[in-house]
Structure 1
Amino acid sequence: MAELPELMVLSKQMNDKLKSKEFGLVDVVQEKCLNIGADDFQRQIRGKTVKKVYIKGKWIFFELSDDYHLLLNLGMGADVLYYKSSEDFMEEYQCRFHFTDDSGFTCKFWWFGHVELIRDNELGKHKPTKNIAISPFDSDFTLDYFRKICKGRSQIKNLMLNQKKIGGIGNGYIHDILFKSKIHPQKPVDSLEPSQIDNLFENMIENLKFSLNKKGLAYEKDFYGENGGFTKDLFLVAYKEGEKCPDCFKTIEKIKTGSTSSYICPQCQKL
């Protein structure tokens, strides 16, 4: 599942490649991934141009002409792939967006993907995105901001996965972020020392930027079909159940944390 680094790579490539292109044909194979009927969707988006592509949390936003936005959510994973001409696109997809210059891109969702066309004046009422918080890559995501949201009795992992607090982080990167900070995922936020919060902030930014520089996870594709460079061996404890902790050599465990699982070192991350 694509998270902040992968979505940042994808959205930047889309912004660079698609800006000023005009939508022509839109081929919808699976109508249920749309927020409106396929006929209305195709009619409304045709002729609009791409002004800017950016991300908000785990959503990709296309700012379009005529005061519209196209919103794309990859769900549990997707291949979103660019093609140069109508002879080159992948044959399997739920949606295909074709531009008037004969280029385009396809969306092949693995599970639960969404494509929504919304007027700009309706964005503030769009329930899935209206309350998404800023991401660790935003300039306003400062240490002071992080300190302010680190309050209450909730478990630290739950807080960091809460998209209303921190946009874009999912269950992929959080294991190593917490391990580097020597914090158990079920630790109550209000039990953390100020120095632990500061250290957690630094490790979060460092971990996500490292992955961004690697162009994301190795099993995720970018806009041109290239896999990222963050391979499994670069994880510290994540997805390494039964292996040795890189710091103390205790056995890494997989534990249940609410609706998700977590990989931890029981020695380095004591509850």
Structure 2
Amino acid sequence: MARSQAQDVIRCQYCEEEPALFQCVPCGDELCPRCKKFHLKSKVPSGHNVVPISEKLHPTNVVEMCESHPSKPYDACCEDCQVPVCILSIQEIHNTHRIGKMLDMYEKQKAEAMKELSEMKTQKRAHVIERIQDVEDGESQVKNSHKHRSWEMKRQAKDFTDHINAMLHEYLGESASNAKSQLEELSLYKAALEEYKQNLEHVIEKLEILTESRPPANFILYRKQNPELVKQLKSPDRLVTADPTFKPGQLNKEQNKTQFGHMTKFSLCEW
């Protein structure tokens, strides 16, 4: 880059006299208007892209160096491979391919990208926002549905519990009444046995006295007067208790589920 010592003005790299008003993007040369004409006549596969220096910072004018040949700038594009290329890349790899101007490919791909960008900003963005809203509505629906189902199942469970508690209360009452009746019968039976035991002890005592201390005549007379004394001591009939039983019913899980209720599962579907 040639500069004037006095005014620090960029000078043409060719004549080094006139101010450089242009720059060749592929070459990087800074040119005056007169040398620009000569520069444009030199042959390169992609041609020259000479722009005013004031425009050289535009994205299309920024010089980028080749990844395969860092010392060479990209100055064209391979239309077959759809990649930027430098002069050496054209000679070594893309020599049989169609070579075009980088600006043409840039403008074409930029137009396609702008169309895609517009579609993403409008249709796709609106669509995904709508789908997110659908998901949020679905989340609310699931939560509300679960809350309502839980309330219904708890109410059903309470009805079952109340019914079971009522049956339990009824059965406990029957069992208590039955036990009370049996205890009363056993009490009467015990009283009869006590009375029989008392009479038995009295006869035993009487007979013991007669057999031990009374004269034989008195004993014989007593036996004559009470021939049926022992036979009259009649024992109450034997009372056999039968314990009440409780046989639990069989709990069928599937049947109980059917009696309790049926619930469908929440499902998701793609559309």
Asked if these proteins are the same fold (TM beyond 0.5), I'd say no
- When Rg is computed on C-alpha atoms for both structures, the one with the higher figure is 2
| TM-score when normalising by structure 1 | 0.19
* Higher fraction of strand: 1
* Higher fraction of helix: 2
Higher relative contact order (CA 8 A, sep 6+): 1
| TM-score when normalising by structure 2 | 0.19
